[in-house]
Amino acid sequence: MSNANLAELLKICKEITEELSRYPGAELFKEPVNPDHQTAPNYYKKIKNPQDLGSIIDRLDRGEYSDVKSWERDMNTIWQNAELYNGKDSYVSVIAHHMAGQFSIMKKRLEMKKISGWMKYLYLSREKLDRLLLSPPSGVGTIFPIRRQSSDVEYAPFSSRELDCLIEASRYFYKPDDMLQMTKILMSENLPTNESENMIVNIDELSPKALHNLRDYFKKKLHQLGQEYPS
């Protein structure tokens, strides 16, 4: 993995950690445990690898993580420590279990980022093929007649940069309402049926019309959230 790709993934790691820190249940896990103030006697005798959200964010800021797995391991250690010290059925462990579930959902963004480069490669390859088909060598047309489709004439194909921005923006939309709206946009695309809970779409299969409609939706939602569409 290149340094640029790793930096982008670690940036997402920080976004996830900071977002998780804003959850009400995160109050128990934001800072290192203080045995005196938090009535946690012998905490550091029982917990050999203490972790907390604030310390992990600091490490991300200082560039101390050399891979995503180390970050993920530290994050999971937070929830494991809570259960180890307080007991499986304790109030703290119940909150930790809830936070672990939220973390599991959020970190799916990393998987989407990892496959986005491959998806982009497929899209660009199709672009090149389309250009070749529209401008074949003389004589080829009589042997292999080319049918030109007109359904998407009004929608220009995305450039490489536009595709990057769309993929970047898509990371922010993973809630059920967003999934529903994106499904409506994609219903006319005749994509293979996906029975799983997760929406994983091969961008190579999307028409220019669908790409434009997705971008319009992302821009509208980001504007409502007071955020800028990637540029």
In this structure, the dihedral spanned by the alpha carbons of residues 59, 65, 69 and 72, taken in order and rounded to 10 degrees, is 10
* CA–CA separation, 29 and 27 (whole Å): 5
Chain-wide mean pLDDT for the chain?
82
For residue 118, tell me if it sits in a domain. Answer: no
Domain CATH code at residue 49: 1.20.920.10
pTM for this predicted structure: 0.55
Q: Is the pLDDT of residue 119 over 80?
A: no
- Provide the pLDDT confidence category of residue 195 given band limits of 50, 70 and 90: very low
Report the 10 Å Cβ neighbour count for 83: 17
For residue 154, tell me if it sits in a domain. Answer: no
Per-residue pLDDT of 13-23, as tens digits, reads: 999 999 999 99
Do 205 and 108 fall into the same domain?
no
Q: What is the mean pLDDT of residues 51-67?
A: 97
SS3 136: coil
219 and 229 Cβ atoms separated by less than 8 Å: yes
Q: What is the pLDDT of residue 171?
A: 80
Out of 152-161, 175-184, 185-194, 212-221, which region has the weakest mean confidence (pLDDT)?
A: 185-194
Q: What is the pLDDT of residue 196?
A: 46
158 and 167 Cβ atoms separated by less than 8 Å: no
Per-residue pLDDT of 62-110, as tens digits, reads: 999 999 999 999 999 999 999 999 999 999 999 999 999 999 989 888 8
For residue 181, tell me if it sits in a domain. Answer: yes
SS3 194: coil
Report the 10 Å Cβ neighbour count for 99: 21
Do 8 and 102 fall into the same domain?
yes
For 130, residues 6+ apart whose C-beta sits below 8 A from its C-beta are 157
Asked which of 96, 113, 130 is the last residue of a domain, the reply is 113
Do 11 and 107 fall into the same domain?
yes
For residue 74, tell me if it sits in a domain. Answer: yes
For residue 71, tell me if it sits in a domain. Answer: yes
Do 81 and 173 fall into the same domain?
no
Longest dimension (CA), the chain: 85
Q: What is the mean pLDDT of residues 171-191?
A: 76
Do 15 and 99 fall into the same domain?
yes
Domains contained in the chain, number: 2
Q: What is the pLDDT of residue 197?
A: 46
Do 171 and 109 fall into the same domain?
no
Q: Which two tokens stand for residue 48?
A: 């050999």
* CA–CA separation, 63 and 45 (whole Å): 29
Do 25 and 108 fall into the same domain?
yes
Do 198 and 103 fall into the same domain?
no
Per-residue pLDDT of 26-49, as tens digits, reads: 999 999 999 887 788 999 999 999
* CA–CA separation, 187 and 70 (whole Å): 39
Separation in Å, CA 49 to CA 110, 119, 213: 25, 38, 48
Domain containing residue 182: 160-225
Q: What is the mean pLDDT of residues 141-161?
A: 63
Q: Is the pLDDT of residue 149 over 60?
A: no
Q: What is the pLDDT of residue 152?
A: 45
Q: Is the pLDDT of residue 179 over 50?
A: yes
For residue 148, tell me if it sits in a domain. Answer: no
Q: What is the mean pLDDT of residues 187-195?
A: 58
Do 10 and 76 fall into the same domain?
yes
For residue 131, tell me if it sits in a domain. Answer: no
For residue 124, tell me if it sits in a domain. Answer: no
- What is the Cα gyration radius of the chain? 23
Half-sphere exposure of 8 (CA within 13 A, CB side): 17
Q: Which two tokens stand for residue 213?
A: 């409609």
Asked which of 113, 130, 149 is the last residue of a domain, the reply is 113
Asked which of 87, 113, 139 is the last residue of a domain, the reply is 113
Do 75 and 165 fall into the same domain?
no
